[in-house]
Amino acid sequence: MTPLGRSPDFAELREQMVERQLRRRGISDERVLGAMGAIPREHFVPESVRRSAYNDSALPIGHQQTISQPWVVAAICQALRLKGDERVLEVGTGSGYSAAVLAEIANRVISIERVADLGETARHKLEQLGIPNVEVIVGDGSQGHPQAAPYDAIAVHAATPEAPHSLLAQLAADGRLVAPIATGSADLLTAFVRDNGDLRQETIGPCRFVPLLGAEGFDPPEED
Ligand code: SAH
């Protein structure tokens, strides 16, 4: 146990996260592992849960939303197969953590968040770390951001009711889109790969996500 008042050794916890939660569980892309070993996750979570920043779980960030479990962030990034020169669209900025990880392994990230307060906080956190290549946009990202399309990669961090058609239309030739697709029992993390004219679909595995709300998502609750 950490003595009262002293903060945990976050660098050590981060290293353990990379080894135990990621490498041992099938994440093998060294660029993804390197990025997750470099980005301070504790910077992106609220003060009240900072000590739990490296837990093997999602954590609350307010507005009924969560920062995703580290393994989920890594699995999405790995499935995008980024080399470093890509333009990436992210839907669901949340805390800004996954945007920071993507910014390490791609050239430019455009990230859209529906909840203005979360988007603004994320933008501020990214600025504080001096991460220059992420643009956070507040708005409904369920139909993407056609102004900057096409994208080499698209990461969706909230469960879509079906294959996200508008987003797929903004994918470059050879581009990859990763999204959780809601089914009756679970959300299935799915990769869509544009291969010249064809679109291939691969299931990565079951995961739990918050719903994508908006025009091509689920209907927002009344009080929203
Ligand atoms: N990747 C984030 C976790 C995101 S949780 C992180 O690392 O912290 C999913 C986020 O998607 C929530 O913040 C939610 O508000 C947002 N969201 C839901 N529907 C959306 C939409 N249509 N457009 C943009 N963001 C949306």
pLDDT in tens, 130-180: 999 999 999 999 999 999 999 999 999 999 999 999 999 999 999 999 999
How many whole angstroms from 117 Cα to the centroid of ligand 1? 12
Residue 16: pLDDT band with limits 50, 70, 90: very high
- Helices 116-128, 97-105: axis angle to 10 degrees equals 50
User: Contact, 212 vs 205, CB < 8 A?
Assistant: no
Q: What is the pLDDT of residue 5?
A: 66
Query: In the prediction, which pLDDT does 184 show?
Result: 84
Closest CA to 175 of 145, 147, 155: 155
Q: In whole angstroms, what separates CA 63 from the centre of its chain? A: 17
What pLDDT, on the 0 to 100 scale, is given for residue 50? 97
Which tokens belong to 144? 């993407």
Strands (E), the chain: 59-62, 65-67, 87-91, 108-113, 134-138, 151-156, 171-182, 187-195, 198-207
Mean pLDDT score, 59-87: 98
Measured in Å, residue 119 CA sits from the centre of ligand 1 at 9
What pLDDT shows up at residue 102?
Answer: 99
Enclosing H/E stretch for 12: helix 10-16
Q: How far apart are CA 64 and CA 114, in angstroms?
A: 13
Is residue 2 predicted with pLDDT exceeding 70? no
In sequence order, which residues have a C-beta less than 8 Å from that of residue 107 and are 6 or more positions away?
A: 84, 85, 86, 87, 133
191: CB partners within 8 A, 6+ apart? 79, 176, 177, 178, 201, 202, 204
Please, are residues 120 and 215 in contact by the beta-carbon 8 Å criterion? Answer: no
Protein residue with least CA distance to atom 14, ligand 1? 92
The set of protein residues with a Cβ atom below 6 angstroms from ligand 1 is 65-68, 73, 91-92, 94-95, 97-98, 112-115, 118, 140-142, 157-158, 210, 212-214, 217
Of residues 185 and 50, which shows the higher confidence score? Answer: 50
CA–CA separation, 196 and 205 (whole Å): 25
What's the 171 CA to ligand 1 centre distance in angstroms? 20
Catalytic residue positions, numbered:
68
DSSP-derived secondary structure letter, 129: T
CB count in 10 Å sphere of residue 137: 17
Among 203, 93, 97, 90, CA closest to 152:
90
For range 111-119, the mean pLDDT: 98
